[in-house]
C-alpha cells in the first residue's frame, strides 16, 4: 500500500502528494499548498494540540482505547509489581533496565546528589507558614539553577547526566522541606542509605507526630505510586518541559516550568477534588442521587474520564491494588469502599459506558495518599517527585534530537490590519496631556 496522501486544493485545482510516516504527515508539507506565488502556504490550526505530534519519542507508549501504558516497552503493571522506583527511573532515563553494576552506579549517583546547600534551607524558610507546597517546590527548583552555573551547558552529555542525578536526588528533599516548613518542624537531613521512597518518608515523618508512618509496607506502596507517575508522554507538564528546554534554559529552570504546569488543577490536582467529592457524597445511599446529578450535567464525577484513555486507566487498577496493602497497616479507609461502590455503579450506567468514562489515576490516588498520612496540599508535590524523571527523560530526548529547534508555534492573526497612530501621540505622550502639564 502506498503510504502517501493526496490533497486537492480547490482554489487552484492543483494536487499535492505527501508521504505518511508513523501515521503522520509533516505540517511543513502543508506549506507547499499555495494559492499563488506570494501566498504563505497552508498551516494547520490545532488549539490544545488535539491532533499534533510535537516530537518523535521512544520513552512512553499509551494506547488509550486499550488501556495500555508502557515505559520503554515494558507494561506499567509489570514495572510496578517487580521493580523499585530507582530501577524504573533508570529505565525511563537510559532506555534499558539497569544491570546490577549499573544499578549500583545509579544509586551511588543519586546518593551523592541527595544533599542541599544550607542557603536553600534559608530560602525555604522565607516562605509564609501557609505557602502552598507546589509554589515552594517550583520556586526552590528554579533557585537551584543559581547554584549550578555549569548546568547552562545543556548540550554537554556529562552535564546532562549530572543534572539528571542532581534533580532526581534533590526533589524529594525540597518537597519534604516545604512540608516541614509549613508544619513548623525542623528539617530532617536525607539518609541516603535508605531506599528512595523510604528516605522521603524519613525526611517527612522523622521527629514528627506521624513518625509511626515510617513503615516498610507504606514505603513500598509509595515506591509503586512513584513508578506509576514517572511519565505519561506529551502531557501538559512534559510539553512545558520541552518548550522551555528548547530555548536551552538549564534543566533546573525547565523542571521548575514543568512543575508549574503540573500545579494546575486540570493536570495534577484532580485527586484532591475526588476526596472533596467523596466527602460530599458521604455514604453509599447518596450515590444514586449524586450520579443522577452528574448525568443531568450538574457536576462531574471527578477521577473519571481522560483525554487519552477510553478504557480503564492501568494506573488506577494498580493503585486500587496497592491501596489494600496500605490499609492493612493504616486501617481501612471508609472512602475506598465508597469509591468502589461509586465505580461499580458508574461502570454499569449507560451514561458512562456510552462515553467511555472509566476511573483515571486520580480516582484512587488521593484516597491512598490520605491513608498514608499525606495531606491534600501535598498530592501534587507527590506527583512531581517521580514525574521529574519523566520530564528529564523528555528533556534529554529533546536536547539530543537533531530535528528539534526552539519551540515556536504559529498563530492565526485575527486582529486589526495596519492602523495609523493618531497625530496627538508624540514620543508616546499624547500632546493634550503634554499641554495640560505645562498649563
Active site (catalytic) residues = 267, 306, 362
Helix axes 216-228, 361-371, angle to 10 degrees: 160
Name the minimum Å distance from CB 326 to ligand ACO. Answer: 20
Interaction between residue 82 and ligand ACO (CB under 6 A): no
Closest CA to 221 of 312, 332, 359, 320: 320
Q: In whole angstroms, what is the distance from residue 315 CA to residue 394 CA?
A: 20
Name the minimum Å distance from CB 278 to ligand ACO. Answer: 13
Q: Which is nearer to ligand ACO, 110 or 357 (CB)?
A: 357
Closest CA to 62 of 245, 231, 241: 231
Name the minimum Å distance from CB 379 to ligand ACO. Answer: 11
Largest CA distance in the chain: 84
Using CB under 6 A as the binding criterion, the count of chain residues that bind ligand ACO stands at 16
205-226 b/e (C-beta count within 10 Å ≥ 16 → b):
bbebeeeebbbeebbbbbbbbb
Q: Which is nearer to ligand ACO, 363 or 395 (CB)?
A: 363
Q: Which is nearer to ligand ACO, 211 or 279 (CB)?
A: 279
Per CB under 6 A, contacts with ligand ACO among 281-300 are: 294, 300
Q: Show the site string, 299-338: x = touches ligand ACO by CB under 6 A, - = not.
A: -xxxxxxxx-------------------------------
List Cα–Cα distances, 417 to 11, 23, 368, 413, 420, in angstroms: 24, 38, 56, 10, 10
Name the minimum Å distance from CB 48 to ligand ACO. Answer: 9
Per CB under 6 A, contacts with ligand ACO among 265-284 are: 267, 270
Beta strands 14-19 and 68-71: pairing type? unpaired
Round to the nearest angstrom and report the end-to-end CA distance of the chain. Answer: 81
Per CB under 6 A, contacts with ligand ACO among 344-373 are: 355, 357, 360-362
Q: Which is nearer to ligand ACO, 123 or 304 (CB)?
A: 304
Q: In whole angstroms, what is the distance from residue 54 CA to residue 254 CA?
A: 17
List Cα–Cα distances, 147 to 138, 241, 290, in angstroms: 15, 20, 51
CB atoms within 10 A of CB 74: 17
Q: Which is nearer to ligand ACO, 214 or 300 (CB)?
A: 300
- Within 13 Å, how many C-alpha atoms sit on residue 3's CB side? 8
Per the CB < 8 A criterion, the answer to whether 336 and 392 are in contact is no
Q: Show the site string, 386-405: x = touches ligand ACO by CB under 6 A, - = not.
A: --------------------
Q: Where are the alpha helices (DSSP H) in 150-295?
A: 157-183, 196-205, 216-228, 236-245, 251-262, 270-281, 287-295
Q: Which is nearer to ligand ACO, 195 or 314 (CB)?
A: 314
Q: In whole angstroms, what is the distance from residue 251 CA to residue 144 CA?
A: 10
Name the minimum Å distance from CB 304 to ligand ACO. Answer: 4
Name the minimum Å distance from CB 359 to ligand ACO. Answer: 9
Residue nearest to ligand ACO (CB): 305
Name the minimum Å distance from CB 271 to ligand ACO. Answer: 8
Q: In whole angstroms, what is the distance from residue 46 CA to residue 411 CA?
A: 10
Name the minimum Å distance from CB 356 to ligand ACO. Answer: 8
Q: Which is nearer to ligand ACO, 251 or 268 (CB)?
A: 268
Q: Which is nearer to ligand ACO, 59 or 302 (CB)?
A: 302
Q: In whole angstroms, what is the distance from residue 341 CA to residue 301 CA?
A: 13
Q: Which residues bind ligand ACO (CB under 6 A)?
A: 267, 270, 294, 300-307, 355, 357, 360-362
Amino acid at each position: 500500500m502506498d503510504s502517501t496522501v493526496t490533497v486537492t486544493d480547490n482554489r487552484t485545482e492543483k494536487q499535492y502528494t505527501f508521504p505518511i510516516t508513523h501515521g503522520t504527515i509533516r505540517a511543513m508539507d502543508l506549506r507547499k499548498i499555495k494559492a499563488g506565488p506570494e501566498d504563505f502556504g497552508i498551516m494547520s490550526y490545532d488549539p490544545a494540540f488535539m491532533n499534533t505530534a510535537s516530537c518523535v519519542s521512544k520513552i512512553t507508549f499509551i494506547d488509550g482505547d486499550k488501556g495500555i501504558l508502557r515505559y520503554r516497552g515494558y507494561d506499567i503493571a509489570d514495572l510496578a509489581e517487580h521493580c523499585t522506583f530507582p530501577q524504573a527511573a533508570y529505565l525511563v532515563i537510559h532506555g534499558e533496565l539497569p544491570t546490577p553494576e549499573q544499578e549500583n552506579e545509579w544509586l551511588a549517583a543519586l546518593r551523592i546528589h541527595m544533599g542541599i546547600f544550607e542557603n536553600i534551607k534559608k530560602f525555604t524558610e522565607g516562605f509564609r507558614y501557609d505557602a502552598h507546597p507546589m509554589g515552594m517546590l517550583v520556586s526552590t527548583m528554579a533557585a537551584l539553577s543559581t547554584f549550578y552555573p555549569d548546568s547552562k551547558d545543556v548540550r554537554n552529555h556529562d552535564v546532562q547526566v549530572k543534572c539528571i542525578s542532581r534533580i532526581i536526588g534533590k526533589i524529594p528533599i525540597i518537597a519534604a522541606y516545604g512540608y516541614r516548613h509549613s508544619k513548623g518542624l525542623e528539617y530532617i537531613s536525607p539518609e541516603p542509605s535508605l531506599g528512595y521512597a523510604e528516605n522521603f518518608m524519613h525526611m517527612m515523618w522523622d521527629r514528627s507526630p506521624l513518625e509511626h508512618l515510617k513503615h516498610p509496607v507504606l514505603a513500598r506502596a509509595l515506591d509503586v505510586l512513584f513508578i506509576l507517575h514517572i511519565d505519561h508522554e506529551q502531557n501538559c507538564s512534559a510539553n512545558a518541559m520541552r518548550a522551555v528546554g528548547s530555548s536551552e534554559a538549564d534543566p533546573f529552570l525547565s523542571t521548575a516550568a514543568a512543575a508549574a504546569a503540573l500545579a494546575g488543577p486540570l493536570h495534577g490536582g484532580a485527586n484532591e477534588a475526588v476526596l472533596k467529592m467523596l466527602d460530599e457524597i458521604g455514604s453509599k445511599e447518596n450515590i444514586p442521587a449524586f450520579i443522577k446529578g452528574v448525568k443531568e450535567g450538574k457536576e462531574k464525577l471527578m477521577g473519571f474520564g481522560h483525554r487519552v484513555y477510553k478504557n480503564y486507566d492501568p494506573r488506577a487498577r494498580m493503585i486500587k491494588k496497592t491501596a489494600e496493602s496500605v490499609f492493612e497497616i493504616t486501617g481501612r479507609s471508609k472512602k475506598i469502599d465508597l469509591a468502589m461502590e461509586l465505580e461499580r455503579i458508574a461502570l454499569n450506567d449507560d451514561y458512562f459506558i456510552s462515553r467511555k468514562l472509566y476511573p483515571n489515576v486520580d480516582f484512587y490516588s488521593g484516597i491512598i495518599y490520605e491513608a498514608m498520612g499525606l495531606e491534600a496540599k501535598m498530592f501534587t508535590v507527590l506527583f512531581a517527585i517521580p514525574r521529574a524523571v519523566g520530564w528529564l527523560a523528555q528533556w534529554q530526548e529533546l536536547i539530543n534530537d537533531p530535528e528539534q529547534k526552539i519551540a515556536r508555534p504559529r498563530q492565526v492573526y485575527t486582529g486589526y490590519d495596519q492602523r495609523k497612530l493618531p497625530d496627538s501621540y508624540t514620543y508616546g505622550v499624547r500632546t493634550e496631556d503634554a499641554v495640560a502639564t505645562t498649563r
